[in-house]
Structures are given as structure tokens and as C-alpha cells.
Structure 1
Amino acid sequence: MKTLKYILFLLLIAIIGLAIYIAVQPNEFNFSRSKVIKAPTPMVFNKVNDFKNWPDFSPWIEQEPNATLTYGDKTSGVDGNYAWKGEVLGEGNMKTTALEKDKSISQHISFIKPFESESDINWTFENTLEGTKVTWGMKGKQDFMTKMYTTFAGSIEENTAPDFERGLFKLDSIIDTDMKKYSIAVDGIKEYGGGFYLYKTTNANSTNISSKMGQQFGTIMSYIAQNNIQMAGMPLTVYNEMNNENGSIIMSNGIPVTEKIILPSGSEISCGYIPKTKSLKTTLLGNYTYLPKAWEKTMAYLGENNLEASDIKPFEIYTTDPGEVPNPADWRTEIYVPVK
């Protein structure tokens, strides 16, 4: 009997000691994980901001893809929300409470089943030289029952952080896939309306054409702004010479204007004119890196349909402003090859 009392006494001491140990554990938890995604910050922000995109990268929905998801009247921005219910996921909901466009998103998550708890979710988006640094964090309070659970099962960070890492990996993957989408359509013979344009001419090759275009357009845009000249369309490039053997080109990068502009003697900028003309038109929807494929398809169409290019030089028009459309897959470029 004395032995039993002694054992019970030791057990009581152990229980009290364990309770004290659990009670002195941190009252809050706070952790985050980060990943650099090679994509424009607005594109990454927009993907995370809309809960309808979450099934694509959520590590939890991946575990139960058939779970029931319910979306609120708003799914993006402040008050955007959705809820889930499933055998594996349990039941809960999430709501966006605050955001700073392209910089941060704050959310509140509530778990209802199999246990009740609440936490705060925080996202930050930082533009870097390598891309967008995305940080996904979670913080909340730990009551006694939560402390007891984490004492035996491991901390919330140990249990949840791997899911955050998986989610960021999937987010990176789907954005990369989205950015690589493209389509090329030969639209056939169309009539280009013609007009004046201010331009600069230079030579380039496949390695420096993008940087040279940027410099050329920047100089022309600056001149237009300084002289209050009215633009009449989106930037274009006229290809004066194209050497298929070594990939070198001579190009004129220009901005359409409403009328002929008389420029001062010695100006590095010139004013040109493209007449109204019939052209074979091709439309590329996608990154500019796919333009060689679009040109290849255009030239093949010319040959297959016995079309002969005229003396008017071929040109491209960049109808989408990348500053307003972050996803390269949505950039629209029109190719015109004037024909006889």
C-alpha cells in the first residue's frame, strides 16, 4: 500500500511538473518562409491576392483536392474570403484584412474543425535584382491546450513551415508556367492605315536587341515629352535589314505621331512615314522572346501562299504596355509584312 501511495505521489509530482513546463512555454508563435520568384512583383502579388488562385498552390488543398471550397462575394482585396470543408482539411475560413498593393497582404485564418484556433497570415513582396522575394508568415497565440499539443507533437513552426515551403515552391512553378504561355496567329492580309512616326536607327543582334530597343524608345519618349508632341499609337520597330546568317539587323525604333514633325538640323531623331498598305499580319500573344517563332511562321505563310513582300519594310507594333500588364503571356505584338 505504501508503495502504491509512493508511486501515485511521484506521478502527481510528474504531472504538476509537466503542467508547469507546458505553462511556461511561449504564449505566441511567429515564423515565416521566403523564396525568390523570377517574375514581376505585380504578377506574384495578383496571384496571391485572389483566393480563387489558391487551389493552384495551396499545400493543404493539394492533400485533399476534392475538399469543398466556398468563395465569398469578394475573393480578392480587403474583405476577400473563402472557406473550406473536408475530411482531411477539417473546416475553416480565411479573410484578407489589409493590403498594400504589390507590397504586402494581411489575412486572418480561423480553424473550426477538428479544433478551434485563430492565427494571422502575412505576405510581403520585395522587388529584387533576381525577381520578387516572397515572404509568407504566420503568427498567433498559444493557449494551454495548444502548448500541450506542441510539447508532444512539435512546435507549430516544425509542423507547418514545410507546408509553407511547399506552397512557395508551387507558387513559383505555376507563375513560371503562366509566363511561358504563348500563341501565334497568322491573321492574313490586312490593311495598315499608315502614318508618321519619330524614330532612331541602330544595328543590333540577338544578344543586345532588347537593351538597344529600350534605350531607343526611352530617348524618343523623352523627346516627345519635352516637346509636347502628341503620340498616335504604340511603339513600333521597322526592320531595314535582317541578316539570317549571323542574326544581325538594322532597325528603326519609333513612336507614331499625329503629324509630320520638322526636327532641328543634326537631331539624332528622325521623322518617318509608313504609307497605307496591304500587309500580311501575324499576332503574337506572349513574351517578346517568342518573336523569332512568330517571324518564322509569318515567312513560311508568305512562301506557302505565293505572297511577295513589297519594297516597304516589315515592322512590329507592341500594342501592350508591359508596365501595365505584368504577365508576359498577355503581351500582344503585331507583325506586318507589306505585300505587293
Structure 2
Amino acid sequence: MGESITFVGLDVHKATIAVCVAEAGRDGEVRYVGEIPNEPGALDKLAARLGRGGRTPRFAYEAGPCGYGVYRHLRRRGHDCVVVAPNLIPRKSGERIKTDRRDATALARLHRAGELTPVWVPEPEHEAMRDLVRARADMVEALGKARQRLQGFLLRHGRAYDGKRWTWPHRKWLMEQTFSQPAQQVACQEYLDAVNELEARIERLTGRIRDLVPAWSMAPVVEALQAMRGVSLIVASALVAEVGDFTRFDNPRQLMAYLGLVPSEHSSGAKRRQGGITKAGSSLARRMLVEGAWTYRLPARISAQMRPRLAGLPREVRDVAWKAQVRLCARYRRLQAIGKRPQVVVTAIAREMVGFAWAIARMVTPPVRTA
């Protein structure tokens, strides 16, 4: 007698989980079980109930704000569970009704049909580093907004700085600004304090990343990626934290697509039209790569800043990094010479950086565990 499999769709929310089951087979029953509390005990009872009679439940739910707690709990209990990519779930174009019951039913049916795309679930240590890197990125974004607010306030009152901003002379000028109205003086000081506080937070988070990376299981990958030009400690940490296990990509083109750096395409018949990049995947990793790509506008060389990062790395890693620098610097100048816009050039360079990063990471990637 063959194994009896039950495919379970879970629509996970903060307090509740909507459950639907689909029996194995094309014409098997698809039924809505109901809602259970989002608690470990309730999940254990559900799994025991669905496993009666020798049946094997296979769970699936969408990646979302509730994280991987349900996945990790079910896996610890020995159950099969996958977390699926929400943007890759097939949907009917004319469907305008969305409920928890419908979502759970669709997950169960599509899981049975094998049409769901699982995401890679990091181990808790890896997820912790990802949270730290993202926290720093959030502070950088908040700092940019705080600076804009300060500059906007000063501009409204006719105060404009002509030199390079956020240098020591600029900061000295900011601290010297005075207003006749006490309320405006207070407002200016609060805007300036907000900028200073966010800069201090970013410095602290950068220090914590620098301290914690050596103890991370992915530290060899982070160190090796810094052999590339434009890939500092923060860029390498962000890329590794967002991508995770580089060995799960069979070729660099898959990684480029995963990071949303490949052109979109709409082709029909004899017509083939490519558009802007897809911007799928992690926006943080993509932004870091594009920022690093700007460094290739200068001639290829090993700078004094890069020499300490290269010390102690395997010869093959340094060779690939130098090959990348020579090729990408030349490609930057070539694309620029034929009149490509700067944004298009750096995006193309960032895409090729991913290929070299993939090659380097696979040379030194340690075995990566999932949660």
C-alpha cells in the first residue's frame, strides 16, 4: 500500500492560521479545515490530527511578516514544510476576491500540483546577521531623510551652503546657524541632533557587524568577497546575508535573476522587447552592488585600502578578483564610450559583479544549514 499524502495550505497571520487540506491525486478532495491559533501547541494538534490513519501531511505557507517560526517548529517535529515565494504563486488575472480561506485553499491545491516555488530558509544564526545588516540599512535610509529635512528647513529660510555637504566645514557652518525666533532655533537644533544621533547609530551598527562577522559561519565568504573592488565589509556582509548559500545556484545567471539585475522581457511572435531590470529579490543587495559598481569607472589597480583585504586570501580568489577588476573597468569605459547612460552602465557592471562574486563564493563557501 502506497503512502497517503495530505497537502496542507496554511495562511499564516499574527494570531491565527487558516488551514486547508488537499488529498493526493488529481481529483482528490480539497476542503477547508478552519482557523487555529498561531501557537506551537495548536500546530502540534493539527499535525497529529492530519497524520491519523498513516497519512503524511506536507505543509506550505507564504513567506511574510510572521517569519519562519511555523516552518522551524514543524520541521523540528519531523514534518515536511516549505515556505513559498508570494510573488511566484500562480494567480488568476480576473480574480478580485481575497480571503484567508481562499488563500489557504489555493496553497493546498497548488502544493499538490507541485506549482509552488519554495524560498531558502536561513538558519537562526544567519537570520540574525541578516537582521543586523538590515537594521543598519534602515538607519542609513533614515539618515538620508533626516538630512533632507534639515536642508529643507534651512532652504525655506534662505540658508544654502555652496560647498561640499556633510564635510567638516559644512558641519561647522550648520552649528553656526542662528535664528531670531527661539522656536526656529529649537527646530534647527532638533533637526541637527536627529542627524547626529542617526550617524552615531550607524557607526555603532557598523562596529557590531565588524565584531560579529568573524564568528559567523559565513565569515570565509564575506572575507573572500572583499577581494573584489567596490565590495567593502558592509557590502559583502549584506550580499552574503541576503543571498545565503551561493551553492544553491547552478550558474551565475540564476543568481543575477534572483537579485533582479536581469532585463525584463515581453516577446510575442517575431517581436522581442526588453525593458528595465526586473528588480526581483533583495533591494538591499541590489543597491549595494550598484553602489559598488561606481568604483569601476576608475582604472584597474590595487589600492592601499584593498591590500589588507587581500592579505591571507587564497591565490585563486585574488586571481578571480583581479580578473574581474580588469574586465569590469574596461567594460565600464567601453559602455560609456558608446553613449550609454551612467545608470545603465553601472547596472550592467553590477550584474557582471554578481557573476564574479558567485565564482569566488563557491570557492570558499562552508556547508550551510537550514533552520
Structure 2-normalised TM-score?
0.22
More strand by share: 1
More helix by share: 2
Rg comparison, structure with higher value: 1
